[in-house]
Structure 1
Amino acid sequence: MSTGSAENRIKWPSGWIVNGLSLTDSETRPMPSSTAEKSRKPSRLPIIIGALIILAGVIYTGGWYYLANQLESRVATNIAAFKQQGIDATCENARASGYPLRVGLDCSKVGWVDQAKNISITAGSFRSAAQVYDPLKIVSSVEGPAAVDVPGAPPLDVKWEHLATSVRLDKPLPKQLSIEGSNVMVNERGNVSNPVPLAVMQSGKLEFNTAQPQMDIALSFDKLKIADNIVLDRPLPELTGAADVQLANGFALLAKPEHDLSVLRGQTGTLRKVELSFEDGSGIAISGPFSVADDGRISGDFKVTMRNPEGVAKVMQGIFPEAGNTISTVVQAMAFVPKDASGAPTLPITVKNGKMSVGFIGIGRLPAL
């Protein structure tokens, strides 16, 4: 092996002379690459992203607290406006809450007192909230018990395990409204001599959906027991029921001063389904279009379906013993009418100005609303 080739493979220290050539530092040291220099420079992108995130958070927080302040101010303004109308509305210790993903209102106690109408309702703490990405839908809950005073009823105490509402705002009125509760108990306030509740209900829900001028109303309840002789001065069994009703001009109800069933006068609509069930599983379901005249007389074409007609007859005769013969006649007729898909007999009933008939056979008269 030649000496030259060996020398070529040796990395000589700087300043040595090899084959008459001087090796300087610049010749022996590797040249730095431009890529390595760039990699050693710190990137500014993470800093920029972090700064933008912080800025967005500051802007969002400022906006949230601005809305919260507006909400608290609006509540105070509305309460003052109600007082000018003679209504004492209260929302004690009102404060905005829900940051960061919600905005809502909390009150330690709520109340509504309308002295002109002798209506007073007070309850416990109240909480409401709306998601920041869906501010028009507001959910709320209220703690019991509630003290209720209304005309025509004794002072009431109402207790519940859960009571919540949901509303979707729209103009001129909310588009949707629902109220649901569980384990509700109603007692007469101060009546220690009769501790039996006036009414108890396992669960219930009431919903309103509006598409002006139409209004849809849905009601459901489970295991409702009303104390004897409270309604129609008669004993009532435990009831489970549901109703789905469409009113063609439901918006008109909101302008009427009436607070009873007479508010339905002049209305037309459809009973999609009104169902009532008893403890033994028997029950009645009614459906069909209807109208209410200005004098409160009802007209319509209905289909009445009975599950276990004998069980229904037993319950109804217990409530209306004076109509026992009529009830027995109707039940006997159910054996000869068509049946639905489940095998339950379905009876067509026509009502004209309150007079009920099956075909040409009159079976009674409905009271005016």
Structure 2
Amino acid sequence: MIDSDSRTMPSSTPETVRKPRRLLKFLIGGLVVLGVIYTAGWYYLARELEARVATNIAAFKERGIDATCENARASGFPLRVGLDCDKVGWADKAKNLSVTAGSFRSAAQLYDPMRINSVIEGPAALDLPGFIPLDAKWEGLTSSIRLDRPLPKEITIDGKNVVVSGRDPGAAPIAVVGSGQLDFRANDPQMDVSLSFNKLKLADNVVPNRSLPELTGAADIGLANGFALLGKTERNLTVLRGQSGTLRKVDLSFEDGSGVGITGPFSVAEDGRITGEFRVTLRNPEGFAKAVQDIVPEAGNTISTVLQALAFAPRDANGAPTLPISVKNGKMSVGFINIGRLPAL
């Protein structure tokens, strides 16, 4: 018999030991090469970004626009690529428009380079045509842009605790808003615009002889030909002339919870007159009517007429009266009852 301890067992040879070590070296070497290539690619993109910013700023200057991005530099290595500036500004003397603010930071994830997120620090100085010089400060101001051709597909701007005041030392705030968000979504030729704000308080002198309460509101509006707005030079509501669309949601609330919601299709004629079929829902009609009458006392008769009509109006699921209001060339009516006229845009 052969003793079990005397049997020949497999033994490790130098060749079998070297194979896994060689594979490990190849793996580490490959990772190092990939890291070097990735790093070189990232810094190449960074240099291209800085060069593009300098080229664009020079192009704006040739058009008479003073765009500023002080100490522009790429940032975000290794997982993002973005641009940082110590100070940003935009000045168009031809339009009497100037905006300057603090530092600016933007970045895009390398796995999603078409979406750019940015943060801008205050305070900001604003010189706008038709307004007194303004200063603005905020607790937070961010934006997100989804790039596309020829224009961005989505733009979102978020603000928190924004305060706007005159530039004179010690000037009282003109407007204060707890939070707000503005969204643009484009799908040529349609454009969707949504806005929301919370605890907006305007100074009493913003509208002469009017004391305005604190407001919270939201709007979601679809414009059938919203892309056409981008080529217009108007800076007021006349820009909407010739447009049509749908008010998916327009809602305004006062501090006591009373408020109004409006939905429905509309169109704006070239003379600014509005035509549309709207459903208007009032929460706490008496409280809403009192608040509106305090703001616009001359509209007392119209408000009283609407309140009388509400007694016969159908109710929504929450018990709030809902009125169908027709508007034809600015003239408003509930059934056969005329309730006033909307001003032209």
Of 109, 120, 127 in structure 1, the residue corresponding to residue 98 of structure 2 is 120
Structure 1 residue ranges without an equivalent (≥5): 12-28
Q: Counterpart in 1 of 2:234?
A: 258
Q: Is it true that 1:171 corresponds to 2:149 in the alignment?
A: yes
**Who wins on radius of gyration, i.e. which is larger?**
1
Displacement after TM superposition at 1:191 (Å): 4.8
Cα RMSD, aligned residues only: 1.8
Q: Counterpart in 1 of 2:33?
A: 55
Secondary structure of 2:165's counterpart equals strand
Secondary structure of 1:341's counterpart equals coil
Q: Counterpart in 2 of 1:306?
A: 282
The residue correspondences of 1:140-151 to structure 2 (distance < 5 A) are: 140-151=118-129
The residue correspondences of 1:8-157 to structure 2 (distance < 5 A) are: 33=10, 38-43=15-20, 44-157=22-135
Distance in structure 2 (CA, Å) of the matches to 1:203 and 1:41: 64
Identity %: 66
Displacement after TM superposition at 1:103 (Å): 0.1
Displacement after TM superposition at 1:233 (Å): 4.3
Q: Is it true that 1:158 corresponds to 2:107 in the alignment?
A: no
Q: Is it true that 1:229 corresponds to 2:188 in the alignment?
A: no
Contact in 1 for aligned 2:220/2:249 (Cα 8 Å) = yes
Q: Is it true that 1:284 corresponds to 2:295 in the alignment?
A: no
Distance in structure 1 (CA, Å) of the matches to 2:296 and 2:97: 33
Displacement after TM superposition at 1:33 (Å): 3.9
Distance in structure 1 (CA, Å) of the matches to 2:127 and 2:228: 27
Distance in structure 2 (CA, Å) of the matches to 1:233 and 1:64: 59
Distance in structure 2 (CA, Å) of the matches to 1:206 and 1:305: 24
Displacement after TM superposition at 1:331 (Å): 1.4
- Which has the higher mean CA deviation after the structures are superposed, 44-53 or 321-330? 321-330
Of 183, 208, 212 in structure 2, the residue corresponding to residue 207 of structure 1 is 183
Q: Counterpart in 1 of 2:173?
A: 197
Equivalent pairs, count: 343
Q: Counterpart in 2 of 1:323?
A: 299
Question: Structure 2 length as normaliser, TM-score?
Answer: 0.96
Residue type of the partner of 2:36? V
Write out per-residue CA displacement over residues 131-156 of structure 1, whole angstroms, 9 at most, x where no aligned residue. Answer: 00110000001000000001111100
Q: Counterpart in 2 of 1:185?
A: 163
- Which has the higher mean CA deviation after the structures are superposed, 114-123 or 33-42? 33-42
Q: Counterpart in 2 of 1:333?
A: 309
Question: Structure 1 length as normaliser, TM-score?
Answer: 0.90
Residue type of the partner of 1:55? V
Q: Counterpart in 2 of 1:14?
A: none
Q: Counterpart in 2 of 1:18?
A: none
Structure 2 residue ranges without an equivalent (≥5): none
Q: Is it true that 1:242 corresponds to 2:218 in the alignment?
A: yes
Displacement after TM superposition at 1:332 (Å): 2.5
